[in-house]
A and B are shown apart, each in its own frame.
Chain A
């Protein structure tokens, strides 16, 4: 079974530029999550999708961050415009709709904003 795929793995942009990250979850996983992990901290949930609907986006800075999962499979997370404090690793995770709350993570995208 293929794991969670993410691209790109690394991205360097200047502040005020825009950037997009892509995630393809494990096949059959209805629930998809985007996390932000700042150096020295644990992952923090940004947004949770169930199929193509948003379940929780309470921690998403909606003035600059947006995410979509149009067909209920892969997802994109966008930042526009980026700020210096957005430098972090962006992790995508997925899990089955039912059963234990075990989430499976992708390798992440390391974003550096200069």
Chain B
């Protein structure tokens, strides 16, 4: 049961253009969403997050959009840079209640390649 899905295994973008990475979820209890970036031989690094009370959160070149009715979120990177080339994971958490407080459920990841 894949509760968080990233349906695009890879994405290739030209430097300076916009990168859009997508993520869908099925569990309506999820109320906090995160994006992580992972370089080879390193652990995932936190990038940006959004609470379900918001529909947009922005941090520099990175913006995350949340559409609760569609159970869909996306990460926009503008402008894309070659250093952004990495694997991007979306993750979801149900913050309230239960013994799995703070537990993250991850998608499969999308490999982003930004060409100079």
Q: Which residue of B lies closest to A92 (CB)?
A: B43
Q: Of residues 57 to 98 in A, which have CB atoms within 8 Å of B's CB atoms? A: 91, 93, 95
Please give, as numbers and ranges, the residues of chain A lying within 8 Å of B91 by CB-CB distance: 42
A24 contacts the other chain (Cβ, under 8 Å)?
no
Known contacts A101-B32, A101-B34, A101-B95; A45 and B103 CB within 8 A of each other: yes
Interface string of B28-61 (1 = CB under 8 A from A): 0000101010000111111001000000000000
Please give, as numbers and ranges, the residues of chain A lying within 8 Å of B49 by CB-CB distance: 100-102
Q: Are A42 and B93 in contact (CB under 8 A)?
A: no
Please give, as numbers and ranges, the residues of chain A lying within 8 Å of B95 by CB-CB distance: 101
Known contacts A100-B49, A101-B32; A44 and B106 CB within 8 A of each other: yes
Known contacts A91-B44, A106-B43; A101 and B108 CB within 8 A of each other: no
A14 contacts the other chain (Cβ, under 8 Å)?
no
- Within the complex, the shortest CB–CB distance from B60 to chain A, in Å, comes to 17
- Within the complex, the shortest CB–CB distance from B18 to chain A, in Å, comes to 24
Q: How many residues of A contact B (CB 8 A)?
A: 26
Q: Which residue of A lies closest to B9 (CB)?
A: A40
Known contacts A105-B45, A107-B43; A42 and B103 CB within 8 A of each other: no
Please give, as numbers and ranges, the residues of chain A lying within 8 Å of B78 by CB-CB distance: none
Q: Of residues 100 to 116 in B, which have CB atoms within 8 Å of A's CB atoms? A: 100-109
Interface string of A1-17 (1 = CB under 8 A from B): 00010100000000000
Binding site for B on A (CB under 8 A): 4, 6, 31, 33, 40-45, 48, 55-56, 91, 93, 95, 100-108, 110
Binding site for A on B (CB under 8 A): 4, 6, 32, 34, 36, 41-46, 49, 89, 91, 93, 95, 99-109
